[in-house]
Amino acid sequence: MVGAGLAGLAAAARLVGDGHDVVVLERGGEPGGRAGTWTAAGFTFDTGPTVLTMPHLLDQAFARLGRDRAADLPLIRLDPAYRAVYDDDSELLVRADPADQVAELRLRGLAADARAFPGFVDWLRELYDVEVPNFIERNFDSPVDLLTRPVPAAKLVRLGGFGSLEKAVSRHFADPRLVRLFTFQAMYAGLAPAEALAIYAVITYMDCISGAYFPVGGMHQVPRALASALTSAGAEVRYEHPVTSLLTDATGKLAGVVAGGERIAADAVVITSDLPTAYAELLPQLRPPRALGGADWSPSCLVWHVGVRGEPRPGVAHHNIHFARAWAESFDQLITRKELMGDPSRLVTIPSLDAPGMAPPGHSALYVLEPVPHLGGSVDWTTERGPARERLHGFLQANGYPDDIVTEHLVTPLDWRAQGLAMGTPFSLAHTFAQTGPFRPANVEPRLPGVFFAGSGTTPGVGVPMVLISGELAADRVRDYLGGGR
């Protein structure tokens, strides 16, 4: 296993459960990959994803290792999952229980939308139940495989899955604030809500209906607990062991890897590096897949890790989305023109609210995210870094967050690129129709038997649930290649 990120750890859990001998090789000094940590001045910051959904996927991974996820990795369900703040200073909460969400809408004077909400939930659940087993948790060998599930495909058409996400949600709600709240998730897929297909409402279901969770102690506890469970089950996890090359036998099949100067025999390898980096560094003799040549890449983001004196005022949530006045025009600037948004929406996550140990007493750890263009745009981050930081600081001040800074670290697209992420984006390939399902770069390299891929650049895509599933799908490929456990 090349990489101890979430995809690699999920694949390793599946393979250990199948009875294979597994070695996980991680270039860093801790598990997690992009879901790592940064510490300074008594603060701990999660450097990767901050939203955890679909915990049953983790339940499965731990169960395969003979462990109880709830014991090894206790989770808190966040309620509210989000606090949404709008440009008119109004607020809406995303509540954990649908009945509480109806009450929230009534409290805000949205009686008609409150009546419509249960039907919206039913629609999302139907989409999820059709999509996940038939089109997400599944390996595709070619687009023809789509035709093998005609009944689910027809149901997706009936549910309006191939229409506009924004229009589909607008049919349920009259208040435009709710449309924004239940479509902004398209950004995770690298798409504007007006351009995204309604099938991506499955992300809204995961995010807002199934529930947002937070591990006790911080998001970094997920890879740490998984890595610990793997070693307890007999797998090896080696840190500071970067894989520098692959070994082949006389027939051209994979025979092992070189990591940390050591030759390690292996019948199969799952590579979790970003695909362009994987091909450049480990498969230089092969032309990258055609899908990567003219790929559409998702926008990138600024992430500002800030340790501050003081604590948020009452009513501030773990996740806070600040929707700007501009909407459609902002997506045009960001995605089409690849410019900085003139009026950006931002996310503020405050993990220290639920993990006090992530900040000293009386202090807070803040994670501030702003979408920005990937490096295919014209923004010069060597000069824009300072002004961007000042704008984010002014945003904290204007919105009443504690802003007396003790320590800080701003991550720009240049930093993402330095981490090996193509085009300087942590969100990989955009989920256009031409880059989804069987059209996304495959998780198997047929030209070098024994090489497989997992992570956000391959199937099924971006986000913690999808990356965990990608590990499972890659493990399925390995199992088929090796003929089961031994």
Write the DSSP assignment of 144-155 as a string of letters. GGGGG-HHHHHH
What pLDDT is stored for residue 485 in this prediction?
47
Bridge partners of 321, per DSSP, are: 84, 347
Q: Which CATH architecture has domain 6-36+53-76+216-294+431-482?
A: 3-Layer(bba) Sandwich (3.50)
- Quote the pLDDT of residue 240: 96
Each residue's pLDDT tens digit, 113-133: 999 999 999 999 999 999 999
Q: In the structure encoding, which two tokens stand for residue 148, read together?
A: 């093998």
User: What's the CA gap between 304 and 396, in Å, rounded?
Assistant: 11
Burial (0-12, 13-18, 19+ Cβ within 10 Å), 371: buried
> Can you list the alpha helix ranges (DSSP code H) found in 139-232?
150-158, 165-170, 176-181, 201-204, 221-232
Structure tokens at 216: 């006790």
| Length of the chain measured in residues | 486
Q: Model-level pTM?
A: 0.96
The pLDDT value recorded for residue 484 is 54
C-alpha of 360 from chain center = 28
| Separation of alpha carbons 387 and 410, rounded Å | 12
Residue 478 host element (H or E): helix 464-482
Q: For the chain (length 486 residues), average pLDDT per consecutive 10?
A: 97 97 97 95 97 97 98 98 97 97 98 98 97 94 84 95 96 97 92 94 95 97 98 97 97 96 96 97 94 92 98 98 94 95 97 98 98 96 98 98 98 97 96 91 97 97 96 97 69
> Which phi and psi (to 5°) does residue 435 adopt?
-130, 35
Three-class DSSP category at 54: coil
Distance CA 98, CA 185 (A): 19
In this structure, are strands 300-309 and 404-411 parallel, antiparallel, or unpaired? antiparallel
The candidate with the shortest Cα–Cα distance to 343, out of 166, 170, 86, is 86
Domain ranges of the chain: 6-36+53-76+216-294+431-482, 99-211, 298-422
In the chain, the amino acid numbered 92 is: L
Q: Calculate the alpha carbon distances from 384 to 371, 372, 388, 389 in Å.
A: 14, 11, 6, 9
